[in-house]
Amino acid sequence: MEDFINTAEPVGSRTIARRYGFGISPATIRNEMADLEEMGYLEQPHTSAGRIPSERGYRYYVDHLMEPEEPGEEEKELIRKHIKLKSREIGTVIQQTGLILSQLTSYATLATSLCGRSAYRHIQLAPFGPGQAMVLVVLASGEVFHRLIPVPEGITPYDLESISSVLNAKLRGLTVKDIKFTILKEIYTELSYYRRVLDLAFELIQEALNVKEERVYHGGILSILSQPEFKNVERLQTLLGLLEQEDFLCGLLTSNSAQEGISICIGREFKNKEIRELSMVSTSYRITNDMYGVLAVLGPTRMHYARVAGVLKYVSENLLEELIKVFGK
């Protein structure tokens, strides 16, 4: 298993005997390997090649044999140094985390923005030139969405400010699902003073509610170019094309990493056909009951699972720690 993971070449009986010297001869190893193949743990690309692990073999390895490999001290140092909230911009921190993870494993990484039932923290209407206003929506996850909307002539910055404060008073702390008709009605009566901007206000609420909540950052996707299994440019094209689609990645993360702790998905275990040559090691970290994130490493089936699992664990723990500094406990 480990020899194949390192070399990407089928492993023969003589190689094992010579390289690892268990004190048994190639012939014995051949017999054992023939047994393992019959049991479905190994495969032969063609009759006179060595063996490679089957997906069942990988599964057995990650479930029973593998021991997550603790990253070295310098690596830990590097990780801690990169997951700092220097920039004070949560998206950037998560993206940075993905990058360092990808750099240390040399596989692609995926990272969701903080997700869960995210509440509104602030809604602001800012004046923006004649006939326009900029809607700013800040979510509890630290994400910010913005959009331009047209406003009728005659609306002053002061009006915008008033509307903002009404919206904030009514909506702050609520999640999208919490918003009920009664609240909208309250806002309506509150703003009836501003007869002429009422329609605008409701359009705005609509906008503020319509933000897309989850994003997926990716990093190091190009690292799969250096994996020998992806020398074929055409395959590469479909694969890279997929990995640039945020929707696709989002589905991948949500459907394959529900549990806490490290979880591993191998090749054909994916529901999606196009990525059946890949494996994913993922983990989720929970900041509050309502807020969590997912980190994942995506690489070829022949992935260095032990190392990836170890690094991923350490990275996700550090990220969680850093984010808790922002969001409190």
| Residue ranges that bind DNA, judged by CB under 7 A | 10-15, 23-28, 30-31, 33-34, 37, 44, 46-51
To its own copies, the closest distance from the beta carbon of 126 in angstroms equals 4
Instruction: For DNA, give the closer residue by CB, 34 or 174.
Output: 34
Give the nearest distance from C-beta 110 to its own copies in angstroms.
16
- The entry of its own copies, DNA, none near residue 85 (CB within 5 to 8 angstroms by kind) is its own copies
Closer of 31 and 206 to its own copies (Cβ): 206
Q: CA 138, 139, 143, 147 torsion: positive or negative? A: negative
Which C-beta is closer to its own copies: that of 25 or that of 132? 132
Q: Which is nearer to its own copies, 21 or 130 (CB)?
A: 130
* Residue 31: contacted member of its own copies, DNA, none (CB under 5 to 8 Å, by partner type): DNA
**Which residues form the interface with its own copies (CB under 8 A)?**
85, 87-90, 121-122, 124, 126-130, 132, 134, 136, 138, 140, 142, 144, 146-149, 222, 225-226, 230-231, 233, 236-237, 240-241, 244, 326-328
Q: Which does 236 bind (CB under 5 to 8 A by kind): its own copies, DNA, none?
A: its own copies
Asked whether the beta carbons of 111 and 97 are under 8 A apart, the reply is yes
Cβ-based nearer residue to its own copies, 50 or 219: 219
From residue 167, how far is each of 25, 40, 183 by CA, in Å? 78, 62, 10
Q: Tokens for 325, please give them.
A: 């500094």
